[in-house]
């Protein structure tokens, strides 16, 4: 029987045998079996993803204005 390990997407040295929060940053630990742990974290908290997309749009618009 294989035991899953849970890791922090931001701190690879943080490992737990059960779901928990990272003691360093408070992020939810994700399964180490996850292929893309940061993406799994972002999809687990949709408002993080929305905030990142909004920030990216603002930065891209600002960069385009500077290139004119």
Q: Is the pLDDT at 10 greater than 70, yes or no?
A: yes
The answer to the question of residue 42 being in a domain is: yes
Mean pLDDT of the chain: 84
The answer to the question of residue 17 being in a domain is: yes
The answer to the question of residue 1 being in a domain is: no
More confident: 35 or 61: 61
**Rounded CA gap, 27 and 41, in Å?**
8
pLDDT at residue number 11: 85
Interval 12-28 mean pLDDT: 88
Interval 12-18 mean pLDDT: 88
The answer to the question of residue 48 being in a domain is: yes
Interval 2-26 mean pLDDT: 85
pLDDT at residue number 59: 97
Transcribe 2-67 into DSSP letters.
Answer: PPP-EE-SS-TT-EESS--B-TTT-PBPEETT-SSHHHHHHHHSHHHHHHHHHHHHHHHHHHHHHT
Domain residues for the domain of 11 are 6-66
The answer to the question of residue 24 being in a domain is: yes
Domain count, the chain: 1
The answer to the question of residue 41 being in a domain is: yes
């Amino acid at each position: 029987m294989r035991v899953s390990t849970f890791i922090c997407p931001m701190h690879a040295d943080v490992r737990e045998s059960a779901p928990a929060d990272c003691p360093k940053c408070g992020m939810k630990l994700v399964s180490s079996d996850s292929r893309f742990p940061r993406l799994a974290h972002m999809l687990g908290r949709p408002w993080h993803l929305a905030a990142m997309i909004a920030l990216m749009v603002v930065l891209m618009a600002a960069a385009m204005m500077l290139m004119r």
